Amino acid sequence: MNSATKPKIAVHKFSSCDGCQLSFLNTGEDLITLSKLVDIVHFAEAGILSPNEKVDIAFIEGSMTTSEEVERIHKIRENSKYLIAIGACATAGGIQALRNFSNSNVEKWKNKIYERPETINSLPTSTPVSAHVNVDLEIWGCPPSSSQIYTTIRCYLSGVTADIPQDALCLHCKRKNIVCVLVAKGLNCMGPVTKTGCGVLCPSKDRECYNCFGPAENINCLSLGKRFQELDLSNEEISRRFLLINNSAPAFKKWGEYFKKMAHKENII
């Protein structure tokens, strides 16, 4: 395919750890195949720089934590036919969004951490891409699945919308005949409320799920929280389970704050 006629894609980084970009790079030969189908015009992690070029698909890694990032995401949206958020930071604020739930002043943090805090232009909160611009698709995960990313590109190039699985991780465990670590081993597994996509990595290694892929469809967070209580997890610990990687996802935020309030009431009593 002639370079001039190839669809153009870009991968943009915001506040993040770069792990989502590695989901592209770690695919090896698939990345070479992709380069034959599209023209990758901007991908800093791969050494390709052209951030202001108009593209067919823009992938966004990271959350919005500075005023400069908010301004930049609007420019990228204007230059993109489709904008796709990838990873926990871009879809739900990420680990850095834990500051959204703190009573501490961000300015005080900067003064304690940085030698020259006046050079740090952090916003009071860390927010997902969808809080600022229209997002055509979200691919969740910390990091997201490489196969989901490449399947999405193929679908958009074919003119169809990608179908990202919304099932709970538990269903995937059953399909793979993995013994439930929540029921059989009493581990504090988030699988009943977490979207599949990781290949059930943790449960397959006898470890509980940490909700890397965000909330699944039709979940019952209250019921899972009560099950955790039966397993002697404190309300504060339950709250932390929900308010971790995907803490700005509406369902996790709601029930994380609920159990946090329950813990606060216990402390008052």
Q: Look at the chain and count its residues.
A: 269
Q: What is the pLDDT of residues 194-246, one digit of tens each?
A: 999 999 999 999 999 999 999 999 999 999 999 999 999 999 999 999 999 99
Measured in whole angstroms, the distance separating CA 151 from the mean position of its chain's CA atoms is 18
Per residue in 83-111, pLDDT tens?
A: 999 999 999 999 888 888 776 677 777 88
Clarify whether residues 116 and 91 are in a common domain.
Answer: yes
Range of the domain at 211: 169-268
Domain count of the chain?
2
Does one domain contain both 257 and 189? yes
61 half-sphere exposure, CB direction, 13 A CA radius: 22
Same domain for 244 and 125: no
Domain termination site, one of 157, 188, 217? 157
Q: What is the pLDDT of residues 117-161, one digit of tens each?
A: 888 888 888 999 999 999 999 999 999 999 899 989 989 988 888
pLDDT in tens, 149-163: 998 998 998 888 888
Residue 154 and residue 161: Cα distance in Å, rounded?
Answer: 10
Q: 124, 157, 190: which is the final residue of a domain?
A: 157
**pLDDT for 85:** 97
Q: Which of 166, 222, 214 is nearest to 194 (CA)?
A: 214
Which residue's entry shows tokens 């805090």? 117
Domain match, 176 and 147 both: no
d(CA 131, CA 194): 22
Residue 126's identity, in one-letter code, is S
